Amino acid sequence: MLRDPVQFMVDLADIGKIARVDIGSRVVYVITDFELLHRMLVENSDAYERGLLFERIRLIFGDSLIVADGRQHKDLRRLLQPAFHRSMLESYAPSIKRHADALASSWRPGQVVEVRSALVRLVITNLLGALFSHEPDTEELRLISGLIEDIGAGAIVGSVLPKRLASLPLPVNRKFLSAGRRLLEYCQELLVARRAGGERRNDLIDILLYSFGAEPRSDKFLAEQAVTILFGGIDASTAALTWALYELSQRPEVASQLRQEVSAAKELSPHSLDQLDYLNRFLNEVMRMHSPLLQTRRCVTPVELDGFTFPAGTDIGYSIAAVHRNPNIFADPNTFDPDRWSPSGSKCRSFVPFSMGNQMCIGNNYAWAALQTILHSLLSKWDFQPVATEKLPRAMGPIPVVRRLPLEVRPVSVLSSGREL
């Protein structure tokens, strides 16, 4: 599994709609069929609670949205949702574009850029600016990017380790717990500083500080909600952007068509970006090819799936990456092809990059707008070329991604007609 985790998940579909996976002393039943997954996450969601992966991250995320269940999850989601409403995207867009333009302007023709590191810093800057009204310095960016990597690796590895190993002081466990504590402290510092300053801003911190009414909440609880947003947003968005630039560097014809559309676009707003047909088809394909590897639920009552009855307490996993590579849903699933998506903008029902039901990512609208805006800025200025290197090292996290991605940046020259020189 560790050698090629995506292919491992995809191959489980050959076993059946539900495959048993033994991980040491643990048994996990993995759903490989979209209709069964829809039944679990949407039609019968009340029969399930968080599972193995969430037990692991609860060690650092406490009572946050990402690990909450039932009524608590619904209440927290309702509380935080206004910060991610589509109406808020207009206010976030200028800041996201400014930061992306600044990154693009910092590069020089022919420079070899390690883009994953650059992108994670950009994503952190955008999230802290848009949702926390905070401009991080270089040291903060270095700190947070390291913490996010240690949390992501520790969450995945720890959740599949046998229970006795998951609690031992192994390096991956120590880094995971230490990184979680430090990120909580960082978010708590932001909250305390805002409260002490007495400022009111239309952002996530205001929602956390002033939306609980008469019910007092500890700074630790509020920081846990903030950590949820930071971890979820940084890890997933960085992975998507890294894979987007990788795919463009490998496919000149796709990059050329995308740059022509970007160069012809005049107005830049969330609405106008939604009209860029090829950009959105390209992003659909990036998200299809590079999706979350493994998520888990645990049934709280006996449930029936595909003729099998699972007793309460059974761990049931699912892989969106495997669903998106299913040849019965997506023809030629291992081929990167933006043209598989309809120009009308409609999406396949089985395309669920942000999950579905009450587990759908709360920040999906923000994330999509940020991906559009960042790619628009970078592709308006640069072409990305692969650099001859050894096999790219892989980083463990919710979405498997390369640890480093060196690319050469070359300036884009465009005629007034929008055709590339």
Count of residues in the chain: 421
Cβ(351)–Cβ(381) below 8 Å: no
Retrieve residue 386's tokens: 């692969």
What span, in angstroms and rounded, lies between the C-alpha atoms of 100 and 122?
Answer: 7
What span, in angstroms and rounded, lies between the C-alpha atoms of 31 and 12?
Answer: 9
Report the SS3 class of residue 114: strand
Retrieve residue 67's tokens: 């690990």
What span, in angstroms and rounded, lies between the C-alpha atoms of 267 and 90?
Answer: 13
Q: CA angle 330-366-267, nearest 5°?
A: 95
HSE-up (13 A, CA, CB side) for residue 105:
6
DSSP state at residue 81: G
Q: How far out from the chain centre does Cα 166 lie?
A: 24
> Does residue 361 have a known ligand-binding role?
yes
In sequence order, what are the residues at sequence separation of 6 or more whose Cβ sits closer than 8 angstroms to the Cβ of residue 250?
386
Cβ(13)–Cβ(326) below 8 Å: yes
Binding residues for heme: 361
Binding residues: 361
